[in-house]
């Protein structure tokens, strides 16, 4: 294990106390403050930059910025939300600087009338969580998320990977709750359509004879 | 109201998040009770959502935390947080 086990979020009141003492000079406590959120902001960064080492750079820069700007944190938002907002900004700034667009040319009208047909399989069997022990199953999910258009990738990352509420997601992305719901639905349907046939094929117990041979992403 | 499969598909995400109003929810449930296709779509979508939230899927790179805190230490040694300002956040 090279990364410490995930740390539970600190109680909001102790978190505020922690922030006060860091600003008052107890600087080392900043380590404790961010530990519970490392994974969350890494996933946020990864949703935008799509490359692990770049996402790591974004997280480091965002965390340093959060430290320097800590006195500007207003207690009315959650610290985690503030930290995610800084991370989104850092990632977007980096994309802008390199002239990589941060917007898909999403046509809002096509969002309203999009016609997604889900993968319909009546013989679907639940894939148990234990299947995630298998690298190829994890890779399928990572790849499906990374291939979503950016707008959908952001939504699904905040809402389904990080499990933020619809309201928090809307605040962070600066869009309405109803647009979050529309895009989230589209994103989930795209993932369903892509992943269901793949999971059905891959998550089955190892066949005695390898009919399909090596699959291309392995 | 009897819903078509297409109508049910359009509501699957909100059904899972439990944000449909009671009447629509009841209509969706009535449809699901007898439609195998929609039930399978619901179950598989939910399955995928549960997978995405699992920590094992998007793991931190090796030694990510160590590097982050080392870099942070560097700054913490030499800098205090900036005085409060009206910033962008
Ligand atoms: Zn149906």
- ipTM, 2 decimals? 0.89
Residues in B 27-86 with any Cβ partner in A closer than 8 A: 36-37, 40-41, 43-45, 47-58, 60-69, 71-73, 75-76, 79-86
> Scanning every residue of chain A, which has its alpha carbon at the shortest distance from the alpha carbon of B76?
A27
Where helices occur in A30-176 by DSSP H, the ranges are 30-34, 38-49, 52-68, 79-97, 108-113, 135-146, 150-156, 166-173
Task: Write out chain B residues lying below 8 Å of A195, CB-based.
Answer: 48
A151 with A196, same domain: the answer is yes
Give pLDDT, residue A189: 96
Backbone angles phi, psi at A117, to 5 degrees: -100, 120
Contact A132 B54 (CB under 8 A): yes
CB contact under 8 A, A160 and B49: yes
Q: Is A217 inside a domain boundary? A: no
Residue A3 domain-assigned (yes or no):
no
Partners of B17 on chain A (C-beta within 8 Å) are: 166, 181
Q: Are residues A127 and A194 in the same domain?
A: yes
Contact A193, A116 (CB under 8 A): yes
Decide if A4 is inside a domain. no
Q: State whether B60 and A39 contact (CB < 8 Å).
A: yes
pLDDT for A107: 45
Q: What is the pLDDT of residue A115?
A: 64
Instruction: Say which CATH number the domain at A189 has.
Output: 1.10.10.10
CA-closest candidate to residue A47, choices A132, A125, A157, A130: A157
Q: Which of A40, A44, A45 is nearest to A57 (CA)?
A: A45
Q: In angstroms, what separates the C-alpha of A46 from chain B's closest C-alpha?
A: 9
Does residue A118 sit in the same domain as residue A161?
A: yes
- Find where tokens 């009919």 sit: A211
Q: Tell me the pLDDT of chain A (218 aa) as tens digits.
A: 578 887 888 888 889 999 999 999 999 999 999 999 999 999 999 999 978 999 999 999 999 999 999 999 987 788 999 999 999 999 999 988 887 765 554 544 455 445 678 888 888 888 999 999 999 999 999 999 999 998 999 999 999 999 999 999 999 999 999 999 999 999 999 999 999 999 988 877 555 445 555 554 44
- Domain total in chain A: 2
Give the pLDDT confidence of B45-77 residue by residue, as tens digits.
999 999 999 999 999 999 999 999 999 999 999
- For residue A109, the model assigns a pLDDT of 43
Does A53 reside within a domain? Answer: yes
User: What number of other Cβ atoms are within 10 A of residue A187's Cβ?
Assistant: 24
**End of a domain among A97, A127, A143?**
A97
Q: Are residues A18 and A92 in the same domain?
A: yes
**CB distance B48–A196 less than 8 Å?**
yes
Asked if residue A103 belongs to a domain, the reply is no
Helices (H), chain B: 5-10, 12-17, 22-34, 36-52, 64-78
Chain A CB contacts of B32 below 8 Å: none
**Single pTM value for the model:** 0.85
Same domain, A143 and A183: yes
Q: Which phi and psi (to 5°) does residue B38 adopt?
A: -65, -35
- Domain hosting A149: range is 110-202
- Both A85 and A140 in a single domain? no
Do A84 and A115 fall into the same domain? no
Q: Is residue A105 part of a domain?
A: no
Q: What is the pLDDT of residue A205?
A: 57
In a domain, A215, yes or no: no
What mean pLDDT do residues B20-31 have?
A: 96
Q: What is the pLDDT of residue B20?
A: 96
């Amino acid at each position: 294990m090279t990364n410490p086990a995930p740390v539970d979020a600190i109680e909001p009141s102790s978190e505020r106390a922690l922030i006060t003492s860091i600003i008052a000079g107890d600087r080392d406590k900043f380590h404790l403050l961010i530990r519970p959120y490392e994974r969350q902001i890494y996933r946020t960064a990864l949703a935008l930059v799509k490359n692990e080492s770049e996402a790591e750079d974004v997280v480091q820069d965002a965390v340093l910025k959060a430290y320097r700007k800590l006195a500007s944190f207003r207690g009315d938002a959650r610290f985690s939300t503030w930290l995610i907002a800084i991370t989104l900004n850092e990632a977007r700034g980096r994309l802008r600087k390199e002239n990589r667009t941060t917007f898909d040319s999403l046509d809002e009208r096509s969002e309203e009338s999009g016609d997604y047909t889900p993968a319909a399989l009546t013989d679907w069997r639940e894939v148990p969580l234990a299947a995630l022990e298998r690298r190829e199953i994890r890779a399928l999910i990572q790849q499906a998320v990374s291939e979503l258009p950016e707008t959908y990738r952001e939504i699904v990352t905040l809402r389904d990977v990080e499990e933020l509420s619809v309201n928090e997601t809307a605040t962070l992305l600066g869009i309405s709750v109803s647009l979050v719901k529309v895009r989230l639905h589209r994103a989930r349907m795209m993932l369903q359509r892509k992943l269901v046939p793949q999971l059905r094929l891959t998550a089955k117990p190892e066949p005695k004879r390898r009919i399909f041979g090596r699959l291309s992403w392995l | 109201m009897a819903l078509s499969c297409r109508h049910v598909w359009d509501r699957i995400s909100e059904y899972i998040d439990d944000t449909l109003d009671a009447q629509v929810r009841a209509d969706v449930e009535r449809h699901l009770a007898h439609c195998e296709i929609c039930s399978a779509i619901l179950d598989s979508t939910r399955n995928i959502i549960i997978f995405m939230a699992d920590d094992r899927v998007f793991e931190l790179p090796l030694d990510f935390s160590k590097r982050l805190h080392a870099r942070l230490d560097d700054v913490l040694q030499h800098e205090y947080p900036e005085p409060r300002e009206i910033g962008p956040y």
